[in-house]
Structure 1
Amino acid sequence: MTNPALTRLAASRAAHAPCGIVSVCSAHPLVIEAALLQALDDGTELLIEATCNQVNQEGGYTGMTPSAFRDFVYGIADAVGFPRDRVILGGDHLGPNPWKHLPADAAMARAEQMIADYAAAGYVKLHLDASMGCGPEPAALADALTAERAARLAAAAERSAPGQAVYIIGTEVPTPGGALEALDHLQPTEAGAVLATYAVHEAAFRNVAGGEAWRRVLAIVVQPGVEFGHEDVAVYAPDRALALTASLDAMPGLVFEAHSTDYQPEASLQRLVRDGFAILKVGPGLTFALREALYGLDAIDAILHPGHPRLPDTPRLPDIMEALMLAEPKYWQSHYPGTADEQRVLRHYSYSDRIRYYWPAPAARAAVSALLDRLGDAPIPATLVSQHLPRLHERVMLGAIRPHARTLLIETVRDVLRAYGRACRPRRPSTSASQEAQA
């Protein structure tokens, strides 16, 4: 049986009371903990997704298989008291991308195994992405071949866990990790293109699970005109997406899924949900906030413990991260252009947040653990919170949050998720624009 938190999205839109759900795309334990705590307070389910490169049968770059990532998430949920049955697991961009250097048959065989493993591990939201060429094929494939391969992936999931999953189709999404070019020409998906994608997938799915799998296609991925680059954010412009949003009326039972909604203003997130973009994916924006808080805490630590017994040449946290990124540049080098000084700034402060790939490194984990140990549970002076974590200062002054290092770290991430939570709440037809602005 499919998850009601997902299936109600289209029904709510049809009832003119659109609601949404945030998709947390991160494998960082502190981000997942913050998301679980926020969902616990909100009384909602939590959708957590892993990508094909991040988690697969070969381990991905996290070293975790689908079942291992599931158990990793469940372990954090158990620790914070979040019910497992309110965790919704999803797989993003599931397809041959990790093996696209291989011939198509070999790459698709591995992709089919991967999605079968996701389904067997209980992942109920599966985004099918077979748009990339494999081996000697062109980089982008024709819609018909993309749909045919997506249907093959759905069939593999159905064989593994019949009737369990809902599916996301479509692949017109921003560049993973953020745009590499200027954002002033970003265009929403054309309505004709999305309707063509819908039609070709409907035909390809005709024989998957006797046609029943098509009835569980939940959403289609499109480009609403939102994106982030290294230093810029393209904010949602509803007027430019009017034809796109109107096309939903020709696709009954579907909503849109919006990728790269990181850094959008809260009012834009609310408007996206109202316009039918019911699934809002966020990832780098969460680890960007985490990095801000860690660097702020590191600066506070330097003030509070100037005489800490440590070697004089022991580096601070930003220095440790810089050394890690320089020693293994594969996660940022092809993304960050410019001079050496420009690249140095981007490594730490780009919206693309390529630094997120380095937090699992042993040296980074040890440095963060040591920082939190030094700060411990001792209250941090409000004046230092004001200086280095100013968005939390008022709540510290009011006693709403404790000025302890770990609490401040978690709260910084939760603040991002609070905006998504407010944006995703159902909006009744009688709700006025002024009421929405105050919500």
Structure 2
Amino acid sequence: MQSLHAILAANKTGQQRGLYSVCSAHPLVLKAALLQAKQDQSPLLIEATANQVNQDGGYTGMAPTDFIAFVRQLATEVGFNEQQLIFGGDHLGPVCWQYLPAAQAMAKAEVLIAAFVAAGFEKIHLDTSMPCADDPAVLSDEVIADRAAQLCQVAEQSAATKGRAGSLCYVIGTEVPPPGGVAELEQGIAPTSVASVKATLQAHKQAFAAAGLAAEVWSRVIAVVVQPGVEFDNSQVHAFDADKAHDLTAFIQAEPGLVFEAHSTDYQSSMAYRALVQGHFAILKVGPQLTFALREALFALALLEQQLIPASQSSALVTTCLALMAEKPQHWHKFYRAEGAELVQLQLYSYSDRIRYYWPEPLLQQAVARLFSNLRGCTLSQPLLHQFLPQHTVPESVQSLTTDPEQLVIRHIQRVLARYAKACGFQQQELQQ
């Protein structure tokens, strides 16, 4: 956590320093992140959302302790120093239980927060912005803040029980993008107003004090989630405009100890990432773009497989994806409003990347394993690889070439991570292979 605080302090002084946050539970994405951070000799912030990981297992089947053990095992496998890992809990609140009355949903959220803190998560995003079954459609800043303070109390108690009093840091905010993304991009997305940020901070500071939380706890609120003017939907990306976020940048510059945390930064340009960090959006969240790159590489390899393996022996990766999405539509049906060929395109190629929810399925895990096994049994020439993954066949040196399918997927994901790392000021060069 010392490295996190040092990076944020440097950002506040105007240095090109920030930290990207990897929000994914996929082992190949996490391996890519660990390898990128190892190459950069940088800390690595890995976050689990309440939907991915919770006391009931989430869609990954992992509780908080399972997730940390899983990441640490991957770190050992790739030789990454565990001391450089920072674990964050994202959207921790009643999001998974919005169908319940608020009192019941918040009781579930308390168990969630306690479990995350007990497991070793130290960066806690208190997200109580979503209405529950008996709430009005839009919650006031005061209600959101009161519920955040309620969960903060639980987090502090859990940390003290584990002998880690004072170790947590918090992220707050009322204008929080929905977990998992949006179904359709709004036209002319406007950055959060300074007045709204001021109201959020005031409401939370008052709520923390009213809940009996010491001023020292408030001093560990390190970031506020706002809308910087970035978002994406199935087929569009709303690009960051630094001029429109100027007032936000000026405001947070004058707030001691605080930066902004930017969600949904996926698919922005390298220039936009650099501008975000310069504007004190010092924590950049990325998730769907990483699993999009994962899917992109896997599907490219599946096309390559078709050139070499009889259909009867192939992985059938793409058709397996579609079959699972048809059988279990709950992860995509609210996001894809289409039929026929258009629906298939969205299911397979959308920026929203709803396929990410299906990779833990045993059938898909088997298909990926079969794909890798098939390709490892073939001789993959550079010209053939160039047809399907050209960016990985023109290295700076012959020694960096690889034909291993898993390594090709990891390197494809690293190309995304390298752009974030460069914007955050880690001294490295973007991958050329």
| TM-score of the aligned structures, taking structure 1 as reference length | 0.92
For 1:191, which of 172, 190, 194 is the aligned residue?
194
Q: What secondary structure is seen at the aligned counterpart in 2 of 1:356?
A: helix
For 1:213, which of 217, 225, 233 is the aligned residue?
217
**2:181 corresponding residue in structure 1:** 178
The answer to whether the 8 A contact 1:183-1:229 is kept is: no
The answer to whether the 8 A contact 2:141-2:174 is kept is: no
**Counterparts of 2:3 and 2:426, CA distance in 1:** 12
**2:431 corresponding residue in structure 1:** none
Deviation at 1:134, TM superposition (A): 1.8
**1:295 corresponding residue in structure 2:** 299
The answer to whether the 8 A contact 1:377-1:405 is kept is: no
Q: Which moved more, 1:418-427 or 1:147-156?
A: 418-427
**1:338 corresponding residue in structure 2:** 338
The answer to whether the 8 A contact 1:377-1:404 is kept is: no
The answer to whether the 8 A contact 1:33-1:80 is kept is: yes
**1:241 corresponding residue in structure 2:** 245
Amino acid aligned to 1:100: Q
**Counterparts of 1:154 and 1:127, CA distance in 2:** 10
Amino acid aligned to 1:112: E
**2:34 corresponding residue in structure 1:** 36
The residue correspondences of 1:114-193 to structure 2 (distance < 5 A) are: 114-161=112-159, 162-193=165-196
The answer to whether the 8 A contact 2:225-2:262 is kept is: yes
**2:49 corresponding residue in structure 1:** 51
**1:404 corresponding residue in structure 2:** 404
Deviation at 1:425, TM superposition (A): 0.5
Amino acid aligned to 1:338: A
Deviation at 1:253, TM superposition (A): 0.7
**Counterparts of 1:210 and 1:177, CA distance in 2:** 33
Deviation at 1:182, TM superposition (A): 3.6
Q: 1:84 to 1:268 in 2, by over 3 A?
A: same
Q: Which moved more, 1:160-169 or 1:391-400?
A: 391-400
**1:225 corresponding residue in structure 2:** 229
Q: 1:129 to 1:182 in 2, by over 3 A?
A: closer
Deviation at 1:177, TM superposition (A): 3.0
| TM-score of the aligned structures, taking structure 2 as reference length | 0.93
Deviation at 1:377, TM superposition (A): 7.1
- Cα deviation 1:245-299 (Å, max 9, x = unaligned): 1110342110000001111111110110011001000000000000110011111
Q: Which moved more, 1:202-211 or 1:245-254?
A: 202-211
**Counterparts of 1:285 and 1:153, CA distance in 2:** 30
**1:25 corresponding residue in structure 2:** 23
The answer to whether the 8 A contact 2:65-2:119 is kept is: yes
Q: 1:36 to 1:377 in 2, by over 3 A?
A: farther
Amino acid aligned to 1:189: T
Deviation at 1:371, TM superposition (A): 0.6
**Counterparts of 1:275 and 1:216, CA distance in 2:** 21
**Counterparts of 1:295 and 1:221, CA distance in 2:** 34
The answer to whether the 8 A contact 2:16-2:423 is kept is: no
Deviation at 1:183, TM superposition (A): 4.1
The answer to whether the 8 A contact 1:183-1:232 is kept is: no
**Counterparts of 1:10 and 1:357, CA distance in 2:** 32
The answer to whether the 8 A contact 2:183-2:334 is kept is: no
**2:275 corresponding residue in structure 1:** 271
- Cα deviation 1:190-244 (Å, max 9, x = unaligned): 1110111111111112255422110100100000011111111111111111112
**Counterparts of 1:75 and 1:378, CA distance in 2:** 30
The answer to whether the 8 A contact 1:45-1:88 is kept is: yes
- Cα deviation 1:119-140 (Å, max 9, x = unaligned): 1111010000111222211132
Identity value in percent: 47
Deviation at 1:339, TM superposition (A): 2.5
Amino acid aligned to 1:271: A
For 1:253, which of 252, 257, 263 is the aligned residue?
257
Q: 1:86 to 1:397 in 2, by over 3 A?
A: closer
**1:204 corresponding residue in structure 2:** 207
The answer to whether the 8 A contact 1:90-1:125 is kept is: yes
Ranges in structure 1 where 5+ consecutive residues have no aligned partner: 428-439
Q: 1:362 to 1:243 in 2, by over 3 A?
A: same
Q: What secondary structure is seen at the aligned counterpart in 2 of 1:239?
A: coil
The answer to whether the 8 A contact 1:17-1:426 is kept is: no
**1:64 corresponding residue in structure 2:** 62
Instruction: State whether structure 2 residue 427 is matched by structure 1 residue 424.
Output: no
Q: What secondary structure is seen at the aligned counterpart in 1 of 2:124?
A: strand
Q: 1:79 to 1:377 in 2, by over 3 A?
A: farther
**2:107 corresponding residue in structure 1:** 109
**Counterparts of 1:145 and 1:393, CA distance in 2:** 54
**Counterparts of 1:340 and 1:225, CA distance in 2:** 33
Amino acid aligned to 2:341: D
Q: 1:182 to 1:99 in 2, by over 3 A?
A: closer
**2:324 corresponding residue in structure 1:** 324
Amino acid aligned to 2:386: S
Q: What secondary structure is seen at the aligned counterpart in 2 of 1:280?
A: strand
Deviation at 1:378, TM superposition (A): 5.5
The answer to whether the 8 A contact 1:386-1:392 is kept is: yes
**Counterparts of 2:368 and 2:42, CA distance in 1:** 30
- Cα deviation 1:365-398 (Å, max 9, x = unaligned): 0000011011127652111222111221212874
**Counterparts of 1:419 and 1:293, CA distance in 2:** 18
Ranges in structure 2 where 5+ consecutive residues have no aligned partner: 160-164, 428-433
